[in-house]
Amino acid sequence: MLELKSVDAGYGSFQALFGINLDVKAGEAVGVIGPNGAGKTTLMRVISGLIRPTRGTIAMEGTDVVATPAHLIVGLGIAHVPENRRLFPRLTVQDNLKMGAFMPQARAKFADRLEFVFDLFPRMKERRNQMAGTMSGGEQQMCAIGRALMSDPKLLLLDEPSAGLAPVVVQQVFELVKRIRSGGLTVLIVEQNVQQVLKVVDRAYLLEAGTIRASGTAVEMRESDTVKQAYLGV
Amino acid sequence: MESFLEIFDIYLLEAVVNGILLGGLLALLALGLNLIFGVIDVTWICYAELVMIGMYGMYFLVQYYGISYFLAAPVAIALVAILGALLHFLVIAPLLSGPPINQLLATGGVLFVLQSFATVAFGIDFRNLGIRLPVLAFAEMHFSYARLLAFGAALIGMVVVYLFMTRTYTGTAIRAIAQDRQIMALMGVDTKKIYLITSAVGGALAGLAACLLVLQYDVHPFVGLSFGPITFLICVLGGLGNFVGGFVAAFVFAEIISLGGLFSDLEWGYVLAFVFFIIMMFVRPGGLLARRQ
């Protein structure tokens, strides 16, 4: 479904990604793990078009993502839940969800998608008229995921969904990722919480200093000495 | 003594009502400027000059081409809307990533360009539509129909903008972009297009204001000076970019002008309003309703 080949990217003269090769198949959940500053967020941003690669190709179901204007990439079926959620704090929950359905194709399905998101997050239905910025961190994360789901995506990019949340809420977020997966959605998830993320993904990549150091199935990654020592604390 | 009080009360009431009528018009002017500032983060110093061009548009449509006022008004509004979009496309957009002072200076430059253009093209004569609306006498008070019409139309204009901003996808995107412009692409929003639409809406509001002001005031190349600065002060008083604050500040200003004018000359009303502004800048520098962060 998604294929990155030798992708370089960065900010100005600072290069954050070096020759990334990565693929995600339809129906899979894939994790990207690694330390702070490894380039995980940059990887997500380069896929959704917030920054553009300096080299390499990105294809979504055969369509050249690099050649697609940034605001049309969501139309290819890629929905990005950004780091720190980035909700519109002074818009209501419902208006935030409405922004997720801004694309003409999504507007037609607005009522259905809203029902789908409210089924998934009954809390959002209760809080639909509340300003998004006044909700708790966990609720904001639900709203951010709901906003991304409003576009009826094929591929969901989740950037650190557990960051800054209480342990109980982190658990809920990973439960949620499992539920979203079971609905057939393809997921690419970036996480520092390695232990948890390896429980919900099929495969994972280890990203360090902007390059992919290791990859394999979730089981292989859990067994790998590199991952064990550095991230699982075993 | 008793009869004196009665007359005084009538004048007071008349001044209060006239203040409200003026407030509606000032609120309309402030809304356009606030919209541009709140969304694009740019102050159109030349906002009142767009209004001036709109007033000339009305003058020529009505006096020169003989079109009726109510048919001319939509044309003038569309004309200024296009002018607003052009201003963004030609002047603001190329400077958006530059320092804010450059954008400010550039729109200041446009102010002088428009003034000079009007002087060369239309001359410095004072012109009017030649329409004199009657005065409404009600319980010994007098209100001009021009002001009543302006107030009603300004309110309708503001309600239409409110509905557009809250009910439509584009309007919601305009509010969202003011809060986080970087991630708009993730929503499928083309920020350049939204900025252009916002500028056209800001222009349309200036156009509507022009249609209403031209009923009460003569148009000349420097007419913008008589309400441009006050519009800007109202926006600052309400907190730049704060729509509700601007609305409240417009009525506060209008009442000070109207009531201040009651006790002496109308000019003293303006002096009082500006003094009030300066004091408020010390007391509440963030605006009357400082936006919660």
Tell me, yes or no, whether B115 lies in a domain. yes
Percentage of residues of chain B with pLDDT beyond 70: 96
Which A residues, 35 through 64, put their C-beta within 8 Å of a C-beta on chain B?
48-50
Burial of B226 (0-12, 13-18, 19+ CB in 10 A): middle
Of the two residues A230 and B281, the one the predictor is more confident about is B281
Give Cβ neighbours of residue A19 (< 8 Å, ≥ 6 apart). Answer: A6, A7, A8, A56, A211
Question: Which one of A44, A46, A88 would you mutate to disrupt binding with B, by most B Cβ within 10 Å of its Cβ?
Answer: A88
Chain B residues with CB-CB distance to A157 below 8 A: none
Chain B residues with CB-CB distance to A91 below 8 A: 172, 175-176, 179
Instruction: Calculate how close chain B gets to A100, using CA atoms only, in Å.
Output: 5
Burial of B279 (0-12, 13-18, 19+ CB in 10 A): exposed
Report whether pLDDT(B291) > 60.
Answer: no
Structure-token match 């370089």, residue found: A8
Q: How far apart are CA B205 and CA B26, in angstroms?
A: 11
Of the two residues B138 and B7, the one the predictor is more confident about is B138
Contact state of A95 with B185 under an 8 Å Cβ cutoff: no
pLDDT value of position A167 = 86
Average pLDDT value for residue range B209-237: 93
Contact state of A90 with B191 under an 8 Å Cβ cutoff: no
Return the percent helix, strand and coil in chain B, to nearest 5: 75, 5, 20
Looking at this predicted complex, what is its ipTM? 0.90
Instruction: Calculate how close chain B gets to A212, using CA atoms only, in Å.
Output: 26
Report whether pLDDT(B241) > 90.
Answer: no
pLDDT value of position A122 = 92
Report whether pLDDT(B137) > 60.
Answer: yes
Structure-token match 């407030």, residue found: B23
pLDDT interval class at B5 (50, 70, 90): low
DSSP letter string over A99-161?
HHT-SHHHHTTHHHHHHHHHHH-HHHHHTTTSBGGGS-HHHHHHHHHHHHHTT--SEEEEE-T
Q: Which pTM value belongs to this model? A: 0.89
What does the CA dihedral A49, A53, A56, A60 come to, rounded to 10 degrees?
Answer: 0
Structure-token match 């030798």, residue found: A6
Chain B residues with CB-CB distance to A98 below 8 A: 169, 172
Give the residue from chain B lying closest to A150, CA to CA.
B187
pLDDT value of position B144 = 86
B187 touches chain A (CB under 8 A): yes
- Three-state helix/strand/coil letters over B19-33: HHHHHHHHHHHHHHH
Contact state of B186 with A106 under an 8 Å Cβ cutoff: no
Tell me, yes or no, whether B292 lies in a domain. no
Q: Which of B175, B176, B190 is nearest residue A71 as measured by Cβ atoms? A: B190
Q: How far apart are CA A82 and CA A208, in angstroms?
A: 20
Chain B residues with CB-CB distance to A75 below 8 A: 188
Residue B164, domain extent: 2-30+41-124+133-226
pLDDT value of position B151 = 94
H helix intervals, B123-227:
145-167, 169-177, 191-213
The one-character DSSP state at B219 is B
CA B194 vs. chain centroid, Å, equals: 21
Structural domains present in chain A:
1-70+155-163+187-234 (3.40.50.300)
pLDDT value of position B292 = 46
CB B239, CB B291: distance < 8 Å? yes
pLDDT interval class at B47 (50, 70, 90): very high
pLDDT interval class at B4 (50, 70, 90): low
Report whether pLDDT(B267) > 90.
Answer: no
Report whether pLDDT(B230) > 80.
Answer: yes
pLDDT value of position A89 = 95
Q: What is the pLDDT of residues A85-131, one digit of tens each?
A: 999 999 999 999 999 999 999 999 999 999 999 999 999 999 999 99
Chain A residues with CB-CB distance to B175 below 8 A: 88, 90-91, 95
Q: What is the pLDDT along chain A (234 residues), one digit of tens a residue?
A: 999 999 999 998 899 999 999 999 999 999 999 888 899 999 999 999 999 999 999 999 999 999 999 999 999 999 999 999 999 999 999 999 999 999 999 999 999 999 999 999 999 999 999 999 999 998 999 999 999 999 999 999 999 998 888 888 888 888 888 888 888 899 999 998 888 899 899 999 999 999 999 999 999 998 888 888 777 765
Tell me, yes or no, whether B91 lies in a domain. yes
Domains of chain B: total: 1
Helix (H) / strand (E) containing B144: strand B141-144
Tell me, yes or no, whether B155 lies in a domain. yes
